Amino acid sequence: MLQHDRLFIGGEWVAPAGAGTIDVVSPHTEEVVGRVPDATPADMDRAVAAARRAFDEGPWPRMTMAERAEVVGRLADLYAARQSELAELITLEMGSPITFSQLAQAPQPLGMLRYFAELGKTYAVEDQRPGMFGPVTVRREPVGVVAAVVPWNVPQFVIMTKLAPALIAGCAVVVKPAPETPLDGYLLAQMIEEAGFPEGVVSIVAAGRETSEYLVSHPGVDKVAFTGSTAAGRRIASICGQGLKRCSLELGGKSAAIILDDCDLGAAMGFLSIASLLNSGQACVAQTRILAPASRYDEVVHAVADMVAGQPVGDPGDPATGIGPMVAKRQQERVEGYIKLGVDEGAKPVLGGLDRPFDRGWYVAPTVFAGVSNDMRVAREEIFGPVLVVISYQDEDDAVRIANDSEYGLSGTVWTADTEHGMDIARRVRAGTYGVNMLNTMEPATPFGGFKASGLGRELGPEGLESYLELKSIARLG
């Protein structure tokens, strides 16, 4: 069992203020595989104070962006050498299939580190503009102390969407990992220590909900960057609004995959299996509403059911596994609750149901529902598990209407033999990321985020860096 008895605060390993601990439980075995301190408000006070000193008095925000990029680049080199270790840790903690961990959970965060390190070498902090009375300098300065509150499903990925740009911008950051996945954060902390960041610039402190809210509410925090449920996002937005604190929110989704009449189902299903079931369905961008033309509805239902049935369910440490367990028992029960709800609403399960695949582990049966209308709760609410619904549409206008008939607007896809026509459909769907015959998997160089209840602001790309910068206009005479 992996045990840690210290917290990483301000670049140092310190004893926690309290005696509470967090047990990390394997979703596959239901056994405790790790234990870390459960941070208290006093620990968060210490982390914010260290970040405050680093930002207000330390060298980090006063270095050039290129100088900061050099340090972030050193972190990227260290990260590259430990990708396999990170992938295995995340699979152990939260049950992500090891193949997904090796392809995405560790490599994509590395890609973000490298992208922002390169961007920092060339990004223009100032530009000159003509003013009515003389030249004006427009300057970009770091927003300050950032609280980065991250979920359990893709922990390193979400940390890096916040940490990498915030560091390049010159911010000091307090990272609050989810209690389900604190172990990978300890490995990252070791790399940050080795990379040589100045004192106070980064803290990584795992804690539960109450201490997380304490951090979000802390008067020493200038910005909150959050990824998680829409319900939690609303609460954080309320807290930040009260304090006029900057915030960026990446929240939930209920994304629609539109299958057009001309789609080659055989070719599409291999890609759609990734788009709909990545990370065992525990992904905000998962394409869980499959929109099928009425003329091919039964054909699409059978193809989707065959696709899901072809994903082996089992030990997440086995490279052959396609779908692993849910992260926790509460999540297993939540997903099963939605499966029961779908049946009660009149949807027809053509695959899966409430019979669990195994007696041990927090597994659910991957489930496909047919006969679903878009007003059913299983079509409107984020389930966060391997449950897909197939909805019939009459024509393309109807498909776009159904895709947009959601409180969410995070992601979406269209599947067609005519990619240019697919682009036309993409332009009509109100979603922050979209893919034609593919899932737009959060490219480091392009903005990621959602419309409507899927969030506020954008991460990644130059836009992601700019969300950690404040604009200042300096006019002068003479």
| Residues assigned a catalytic role | 250, 284
**DSSP assigned state of 371:** E
Query: Which residues share a beta bridge with 139?
Result: 126, 472
- Contact, 440 vs 423, CB < 8 A? no
Which is nearest to 301 in space by CA: 265, 329, 340?
Answer: 265
Cα–Cα dist 436/415, whole Å: 6
Instruction: Note every long-range contact of 313-319, with CB atoms under 8 Å and residues 24 or more positions apart, other chains counting.
Output: 313/357, 313/363, 313/365, 313/366, 314/357, 314/358, 315/28, 316/27, 316/28, 316/91, 316/95, 316/96, 316/97, 316/98, 317/28, 317/88, 317/91, 317/92, 317/98, 318/98, 319/98, 319/99
Q: 328 is written with which tokens? A: 């926790």
- Enumerate residues 6+ apart whose C-beta is below 8 A from 11: 50, 192, 193, 197, 198, 199, 200, 201, 202, 203
SS3 state of residue 377? helix
What token pair was written down for 155?
């922990």
CA atoms of 319 and 386, how far apart (whole Å): 18
Does an H or E element contain 15, and which?
none
As a whole number of angstroms, the longest Cα–Cα distance in the chain is 78
Distance from C-alpha of 354 to C-alpha of 331, rounded to nearest angstrom: 14
Dist CA 247 CA 174 (whole Å): 14
Distances (CA, A) of 18 to 5, 130, 189: 11, 56, 20
Query: Taking a C-beta distance cutoff of 8 angstroms, is the pair 10, 47 a contact?
Result: yes
Residues 6 or more apart in contact with residue 202 via CB below 8 angstroms: 8, 10, 11, 163, 167, 172, 173, 175, 189, 192
Strands 223-227 and 12-14: unpaired
Q: Which of left, alpha, beta for 201 (phi over 0: left; psi -120 to 50: alpha)?
A: alpha
Closest C-alpha to 145, from 217, 221, 199: 221
CB atoms within 10 A of CB 46: 21
Q: What 3-state class would DSSP assign to 140?
A: strand
Phi then psi dihedrals of residue 250, to 5 deg? -110, 110
